Structure 1
Amino acid sequence: MKFDNPEDIVQLTPLWEGERFPNGRPKVPADVLRRMRKITLEEAWGPLWNRGYAFQFEGDFKIVHPDQVMVGRAVTAVMVPQRPDLHETLLRYGHEQEGRKGFFNQWVIDSLVEDDVAVVDMFDKVHLGTYVGGNLSTAISTRTKRGGAVIWGGIRDNQQVSQIDNINIYYRGSDPTAIAEVTMTGMNVPARIGKAICLPGDVVLGTPAGVIFIPPHLAELTVAQAEKSQVRDVFGFVRLREGVYSTAQIDAPWTTALMRDFVTWFENDPAARDYRHLTWEHELAEAAKRDAEGGSRHDVRL
């Protein structure tokens, strides 16, 4: 076996058609990550759930900075309880064949780049399962700039870690002991985090409610749908305050006339300026189709 094997990573992520890192990990564009920081967890969850991705969220964490949102590209690691023969074989292989330094957790941290998030299945081990402390958290900060870590296990040096402002860490518990009696069996492989699954290159969205792992091929679609929902809500609030439409009209599928009113507002109102990269041809066509078919007033807008 190899750690961080490009052939395996490409095989695991065939639906991603964009740029990749040298190790094959999907590289979701930085602009998509920037836009992702402005959406809510529920807005990200909906498009995934509707496409059959039912195990992408986990909320049972402690959070170093619970008021901060974290977004980045996943670098995954899978740890297991130590078995001497396996442990020595894999540690020796990493050192001698791949030129890695230090312990398994350092291998992962040393591979991080800007906008990365380390996602670690530590099998919920906290005592002797502290994946990072003050030093490695500082290294995460230096390497990722604004990323962090999601650890299904423990951390240590909480008072030091809490002083690092530009990253966030989601973890299960804290303990003063150092990491021990564990072995890494995979790096940039599928990782189970509680009820969720994360693949290398997933976009990690960490919020006060928990963490959601967004497959890279769905990242831009997820952001665009969230942004469209946001700006439609802004328009709806404006027109409701003006008394132009009823709540039933705003909540139902929009007619062609209402959709055209929205597009005119969208193209001219300063409140929509940050959303003008979005397009509405599909929505206009859908509204026209509903009008032609005599769409029901009682439909619920999805």
Structure 2
Amino acid sequence: MLLTPEQIINLTPMWDGPRSEDGRPLPDQADLDALAGATAEHAWSVLDKAGYRAQYVGGWTQSAPGRTFVGRALTCGFMPFRADFNESVVREGSAIGQTVGDRQNTWVIEALGPGDCLVADIFGKVVNGTVVGDNLGTAVASRTGVGAVIDGGVRDLSGLRELEANFYFRDTDPTPIRDVVLSTMNGPIMIGGTTVLPGDVVLGTELGVTFIPPHLVSEVAAVSLRTAHRDLFGKQRLAERIYTTTEIDTPTWASHIEADYQDWTRSNPIRVPQSTGAGE
């Protein structure tokens, strides 16, 4: 259930950079900051080309619509309650110092750190599937500065809306979480048809959530910055009516437009936006 650092390292072999103490990949902070300005479309273009075609999940309700974030996934999965399985989980949790009881969602929240994003698979359960309310949501927000992605429910939405974080979830319900068992923590889970691994970089945008494999974060960040910068130039020139939409809305610009862009770049360099989550 609770993966060891060695198991997480074996689970994420494509990453050859630094890792946090729990074994999760630890991408460069500059890349995470660069992703703060990325869109789902920017990320998709890189991931699709690399063969990762199911990394975006939409259809969420958000506690803070429009608040984008970038964080590292700390994953957890829940299953419907089964007494003998629950006994095994409680025994394992007790052995490593976890509080024995039916609030196993708190075990995961206690493990969160700065820049993390709680990613919870509770099989879409909303009634009695509320992973956080405003109290636990406050703990998530204060510990991570990011928020959470919950394939299930939340409660106390008015309180969650007041937090400096964003929570993606399926729906709200006044019931508490119950009749479930924590099946995995920092293990592979499924969110909306996407496999999510511990340490995946979570890009939350107004559209939805993209889970970026760590070894592709640098490329996604670079493409995002470059694409956003070229879009800024193109929109400015369109507004000035210097070029037509046909000239700008094409994969490759004519040589004179490319030369104009390079000249424009000298006085308008690419700037890395400051993230609203990871590392803060």
Assess same fold via TM > 0.5.
yes
Considering only aligned residues, what root-mean-square deviation do their CA atoms show, in Å?
Answer: 2.0
Instruction: State the alpha-carbon separation in 2 of the partners of residues 203 and 7 from structure 1.
Output: 20
Compared with structure 1, are the counterparts of its residues 254 and 208 closer, same or farther at alpha carbon in structure 2 (3 Å cutoff)? closer
State the percentage of identical aligned residues. 40
- Give 1 or 2 for the bigger CA radius of gyration: 1
Q: Which blocks of at least 5 consecutive residues in structure 2 are unaligned?
A: 273-280
- State which drifts further: 254-263 or 124-133: 254-263
- 1:147-158 to structure 2, matched below 5 A, reads 147-158=146-157
Write the distance in 2 (CA, Å) between the matches of 1:176 and 1:222.
Answer: 39
Which structure has the highest helix share of the two? 1
User: Which residue does 1:222 correspond to in 2?
Assistant: 220
Q: Is the 8 A contact 1:57 1:195 kept in 2?
A: no
The structure 1 residue matched to 2:182, chosen from 176, 181, 184, is 184
- Residue 20 of structure 1 aligns to a residue whose secondary structure is coil
Unpaired stretches in structure 1, ≥5 consecutive residues:
276-302
**Cα distance per residue 1:34-61 (max 9 Å; x no partner):** 2211121111111111221111111121
Q: Residue deviations 1:231-254, cap 9 Å, x none?
A: 122333455566765555542524
* Residues matched between the structures, number: 269
For 1:74, the equivalent position in structure 2 comes to 73
1:18 aligned onto 2:20 = no
TM-score by length of 2: 0.89
Q: Aligned equivalents of 2:225 and 2:166: distance in 1? A: 24
Q: Would the alpha carbon gap of residues 183 and 19 (structure 1) be closer, same or farther in structure 2, given more than 3 Å must change?
A: same
Change (3 A) 1:90 1:229: same
1:278 paired residue number = none
When residues 249 and 61 of structure 1 are mapped into structure 2, their CA distance, relative to the original with a 3 A threshold, is: closer
Amino acid at match of 2:108: V
Counterparts of 1:118 and 1:274 in 2: how far apart (Å)?
29
In the other structure, the counterpart of 1:35 is 34
- Larger RCO, structures 1/2 (Cα 8 Å, 6+ apart): 2
Give runs of aligned pairs for residues 243-258 of structure 1, distance below 5 A: 247-250=245-248, 251-254=250-253
Change (3 A) 1:252 1:162: closer
When normalised by structure 1's length, the TM-score is: 0.82
Whether the 8 Å CA contact 1:75–1:119 is kept in 2: the answer is: yes
- Alpha-carbon separation, structure 2, partners of 1:84 and 1:246: 67
| Further displaced range: 15-24 or 27-36 | 27-36
Distance in 2, matches of 1:135 and 1:74, equals 21
> Which residue type is aligned with residue 70 of structure 1?
F
Q: Retained in 2: the 8 A contact 1:132–1:156?
A: yes
Residues 163 and 233 of structure 1: CA distance in aligned 2, closer, same or farther (over 3 Å): closer
Aligned equivalent of 1:293: none
Q: Distance in 1 between matches of 2:242 and 2:89?
A: 67
- 1:102-132 alpha-carbon deviations (Å, 9 max, x no partner): 5321111011111110000001111111111
1:274 equivalent in alignment to 2:263: no
User: Does residue 169 of the first structure (1) align with residue 171 of the second (2)?
Assistant: no
- Whether the aligned pair in 1 keeps the contact of 2:77 and 2:120 (CA below 8 Å) is yes
Q: What is the DSSP-based 3-state SS (H/G/I as helix, E as strand, rest coil) of the residue aligned with 1:124?
A: coil
User: In the alignment, residue 122 of structure 1 is paired with which amino acid?
Assistant: I
Aligned position for 1:9:
8
* Secondary structure class of the residue paired with 2:123: strand
- Give, as a single letter, the amino acid of the residue that structure 2 aligns with 1:154: G
State the shift of 1:67 in Å: 2.1
2:111 corresponds to which residue?
Answer: 111
Query: What is the DSSP-based 3-state SS (H/G/I as helix, E as strand, rest coil) of the residue aligned with 2:131?
Result: strand
Task: Provide Cα deviations, 1:237-275, integer angstroms capped at 9, x if missing partner.
Answer: 455566765555542524666545433432x213x2516
1:230 positional shift: 1.6
